[in-house]
Amino acid sequence: MNKDELKDMLNMVADGTLSVDDAVNKIRLQPYDDLDFAKIDTHRGVRQGADEVIYGAGKTAEQICKIVEHILAKSAKSVLITRMSADKAEVVAKRLPLFYDAVSGIGIAGERKEQEPVGNIVIATGGTSDIPVAEEAALTAEYYGNRVTRLYDVGVSGVHRLLDNAQVLADAKVVIAVAGMEGALASVIGGMVDCPVIAVPTSVGYGASFNGLSALLSMLNSCASGVSVVNIDNGFGAGYFASMINKI
């Protein structure tokens, strides 16, 4: 149950369509359901404006299914699943309606929401290899109802590609800059726009990229103001954070 659903319900109470007791029951469930191996945060929609998301990497296909089924039955019409491998997705898809994107590992179980996207989140990558992380961010942002503009392979070693898209960047309400190796993309974009830039270092590269450490440090040290950083490869976190800002 998210904030809007809560408001709807309270309006129903206000105009008598729903009895106070029924409303109380709906609201005053304990704030999470206990599946023993997982405590599902059914009030997260109310408290945080977005329903619980399942981090698929550390869970078995069986555990994912159980949590999804529980959530779909109790508190939401769809569930976002991140970092789900193709073989887990196959298992889940047999039991549940599932949209799955193999590039990003994003799955959406249940009914996909039909909604008019709002605002504008521009997602830029330094190279082609950064696309999986960028797509994790893009699909997350789209899941939450944001308009997303993709701007891939515009790394700073050919800065004219970036400048050529200055207008695309200028039209953004938020920018997500996804880059591995030297991670300079965030700084250059940060100096070009007047909206918040969320930097996502990726583990793309080799040698002294140290699995994304180089890009991470680089982005944290960005000389441009208006840049903040999420974990290496954390496309979901960037997409979610951008959504928060874009929808203000």
Minimum Å gap between C-beta 5 and its own copies is 14
Closest approach, Cβ 96 to its own copies, in A, equals: 18
User: Within 201-220, which residues bind its own copies (CB under 8 A)?
Assistant: 201, 203-220
7 binds its own copies (CB under 8 A): no
**182 sits near its own copies (criterion: CB under 8 A):** yes
User: Where does residue 36 fall: left (phi above 0), alpha (psi -120 to 50 degrees), or beta otherwise?
Assistant: left
Per DSSP, 112 falls in state P
Contact 26, 5 (CB under 8 A): no
According to the binding rule CB under 8 A, does residue 15 interact with its own copies? no
Residue 231 engages its own copies in binding (rule: CB under 8 A): yes
Pick from 131, 138, 139, 169 the residue near its own copies by CB under 8 A.
131
By CB under 8 A, is residue 145 in contact with its own copies? no
State the nearest-atom distance from the C-beta of 64 to its own copies, in Å.
Answer: 10
* 106 close to 80: Cβ distance less than 8 angstroms: yes
Burial of 18 (0-12, 13-18, 19+ CB in 10 A): middle
Residue closer to its own copies (CB basis): 13 or 38: 38
Rounded to whole angstroms, how far apart are CA atoms 130 and 205? Answer: 10
Q: Could you tell me the smallest distance in angstroms from the CB atom of residue 155 to its own copies?
A: 5
Rg (CA), the chain: 20
Residue 146 in the binding site for its own copies (CB under 8 A)? no
